[in-house]
Amino acid sequence: MKVSIIGAGYVGLSTGLTLASLGNEVYFVDVDEDKINKLRNGKPPFQEPHVKELLEKNLKEKRVKFSSLYSVAIPKSDVIFVCVGTPSKISGEADISHVKDAIKNISKNLDKKFTVVVIKSTVPVGTAKLLKRIIERADHNNFSIVSNPEFLREGYAIRDTLKPDRIVLGVDDKRALEILSNLYDPIIKQSFENIVEEKLSRQVPVVVTSNISAELIKYAANAFLVTKISFINEIANVAENIGGDIEDVAEGIGLDPRIGNKFLNAGLGWGGNCFPKDIRALYQVAGKSGYMPVLLKSVIEVNNEQRYRFLQKIVKVLGEVIEGKTVAILGIAFKSGTDDVRESPAIEIINKLLELGAKIKAYDPLALENAKKVLKNNSDIIFCTSPYDAANGASALVITTEWPEFKDLNFKKIKGLLKSPIVVDGKNLLDKDLMREMGFKYHSIGRK
């Protein structure tokens, strides 16, 4: 099939490269010319497993093309995926202006043949209906809008696209459903061969529903996940006060299959480019619909409070005086496995420590370049090339991202480099008993 992808970010690139690897002809359109030029030369705009390899392979086999012009891609396409960003407005509402612009540009270039326009961007409930009207106003009626939310995680983008837990299709048109079912058939049946990883041994379930329900499914899924994280963080705070261990509590409740053991890691709370903005947007959607989402409100509050509590912990262990002290920060990405620092808890902790007069020595295995762009022009922060460099001369070592490699550091060496043997672990990454046996003053979340 001939497919266009509007927006070459995480969702667009993963979708397009996967569909190209399944034998489709894929045209990427992005307004960022620099990004387009880099992609043409096999250079992905972010660090993500398998993206470079699939990009190079599909460029070589001439199954992918890149352009900043809608006019070259849209008329030929059977299916067009809209994968542009929907950032937060100041009010918390999702800003769908990029989606609207994309739809207007698509309308200007649509052919007379039947075309399926798929909305993968996370959009407020009711957006598909609004977009349909925009295309109709441009005098087109041979098209259908499908809401097909994306559930991929950064760090697993290609894996999650090839082997999703489910595919959700919000659609009110039989032809469109048939076309998308055919396009997704190798993924649904897991019948593809030799693409990146082992395939699943089962079929992928497909949920066919209305546009509105599909739009709500995306927000509800992320809202449920953040509720789980805020819940475990709240219990962690109780555990800490009464002398319990949140890791044991999480194991004890997670073995109940109704609860499940995933997303029960207590820590600094949720961040990233998706959870915070989507939860804010759902909060607005609910309010506009006339319902006050009280649970969601608390979930957000617990998350904000979690970072503040962690900061207080650092201040306390440093003897209430931060001014002039150096703090080593390990981890700047919002989670491990990515170079993304958007709404990263680590960035907020660093900024607050700087405000309190601390000097920062920060290290991250992948995110240093992005961190430098966000934390620029501050002479009180030094970006280090290794965790040991960061620890050298610092009054405390603070872990803010759960990079697995931090577990295997030579802590004997780190102890020798630190001014005082203090470790504050915001991700419960390290073995508390071992750290204390080594002579560290070790503090973590929800563990005495």
- Shortest CA distance to 122 belongs to which of 172, 67, 168? 168
Evaluate the CA torsion angle 108, 113, 118, 123 in order and state its sign: positive
Q: Are 150 and 164 in contact (CB under 8 A)?
A: no
With CB under 6 A as the contact rule, which of the stretches 46-54, 166-174, 198-206, 265-273 interacts with ligand UGA?
A: 265-273
**C-alpha distance from residue 161 to each of 19, 151, 418 (Å):** 9, 8, 43
CB 314, min distance to ligand UGA, A: 18
What DSSP line would sit under 165-229, residue for residue? S-EEEE---HHHHHHHHHHHHHHHTT---SSSSPPPSSPPPEEEE-HHHHHHHHHHHHHHHHHHH
Q: Is 222 in the site for ligand UGA (CB under 6 A)?
A: yes
Q: Are 145 and 173 in contact (CB under 8 A)?
A: no
Among 264, 279, 282, 445, binds ligand UGA (CB under 6 A): 264
> Does the protein bind ligand UGA through residue 335 (CB under 6 A)?
yes
Q: Is 152 in the site for ligand UGA (CB under 6 A)?
A: yes
Q: Residue 151 interacts with ligand UGA (CB under 6 A)?
A: yes
Check residue 81 for interaction with ligand UGA (CB under 6 A).
no
Report the nearest approach of ligand UGA to the CB of residue 33 (Å): 25
Q: Least Å distance between CB 275 and ligand UGA? A: 5
C-alpha dist (Å) from residue 391 to 197, 285, 332, 407: 37, 45, 15, 15
Report how far residue 16's alpha carbon sits from residue 24's, in angstroms, rounded to the nearest whole number. 9
Q: Is 406 a residue that touches ligand UGA (CB under 6 A)?
A: no
Question: Which of these segments, 32-40, 209-217, 260-268, 414-422, binds ligand UGA (CB under 6 A)?
Answer: 260-268
Task: Pick between residue 246 and residue 274 the one whose CB is nearest to ligand UGA.
Answer: 274
Piece of the chain touching ligand UGA by CB under 6 A; list 81-89, 109-117, 264-272, 347-355: 264-272
The set of catalytic residues is 274
Of the residues 186, 267, 293, 331, which one makes contact with ligand UGA according to CB under 6 A: 267
Query: CB of 22: closest distance to ligand UGA in angstroms?
Result: 20
Residue 271 touching ligand UGA (CB under 6 A): yes
- Point out which span in 145-153, 172-180, 182-190, 376-384 binds ligand UGA (CB under 6 A): 145-153
Sheet holding 326-330, edge to edge: 381-383, 359-363, 326-330, 396-399, 422-425, 441-443
Query: Which amino acid appears at position 382 of this protein?
Result: I
Beta bridge partners of 102: none
By CB under 6 A, residue 265 contacts ligand UGA: yes
Count of residues that bind ligand UGA according to CB under 6 A: 21
The CB-side HSE value for 244 (13 A sphere, CA atoms) comes to: 16
Is 358 an interacting residue with respect to ligand UGA (CB under 6 A)? no
Stretch of residues binding ligand UGA (CB under 6 A), selected from 37-45, 236-244, 274-282, 354-362: 274-282
Measured from the CB atom, is 272 or 293 closer to ligand UGA? 272
Rule CB under 6 A: is residue 119 a binding residue for ligand UGA? no
* 107 vs 401, beta carbon nearer ligand UGA: 401
46 is a contact residue toward ligand UGA (CB under 6 A): no
β-bridge mates for residue 80, sequence order: 4, 117
Choose which of 27, 143, 334, 403 interacts with ligand UGA (CB under 6 A): 334
Q: Are 196 and 50 in contact (CB under 8 A)?
A: yes
The least distance separating ligand UGA from the CB of residue 359, rounded to whole angstroms, comes to: 26
As separate numbers, helices (DSSP H) first and strands (DSSP E) second, the chain gives 17, 14
| Residue 318 Cα to chain centre, angstroms | 33
Exposure string for 390-414, b = 16+ CB within 10 A, e = fewer? bbbebbbbbbbbbbeebeebebeeb
8 A C-beta contact, residue 86 and residue 99: yes
How many angstroms separate the CA atoms of 26 and 138, rounded?
Answer: 25
| Interaction between residue 270 and ligand UGA (CB under 6 A) | yes
Where on the chain is the footprint of ligand UGA (CB under 6 A)?
A: 150-154, 222, 225, 229, 263-265, 267, 269-272, 274-275, 278, 334-335
